Amino acid sequence: MKDLDNIRVLVDKFEIGIESLLHNADFAFREESVPVKLVIDQIKKKLDVFVETIDNVSQYADKYSRNIRKAMTVILQRLIRHPDQ
């Protein structure tokens, strides 16, 4: 369950990042007084964090998927060896 919580936290961070990028883009289009280049630079900075979060989620998902497959294999082996217990 802790592993799933870790993934949930990363996905929440991912969602916040997306919302922030969309907010900045919307702000750039609505506010004529704000230079678009400034907003684009901010989006680029946040994009790095966004990509890092995606990589982290992917790594966690791969790790936990392998762990689940290993645990299932161990359980199946025990069931095969001792079917009456």
pLDDT tens-digit readout, 22-55: 888 887 778 777 777 777 888 888 888 888 888 8
CA distance 52 to 70: 27
How many other C-beta atoms lie within 10 A of the C-beta of residue 53? 19
State the maximum Cα–Cα separation within the chain, in Å, rounded to a whole number: 76
Query: pLDDT category, 74, cuts 50, 70, 90?
Result: very high
What's the confidence (pLDDT) of residue 85?
62
pTM of this structure: 0.57
What are the extents of the domains in the chain?
2-81
Look at residue 18 and tell me whether its pLDDT is greater than 80. yes
How many other CB atoms are found less than 10 A from the CB of residue 71?
10
Structure-token pair, residue 42: 């901010």
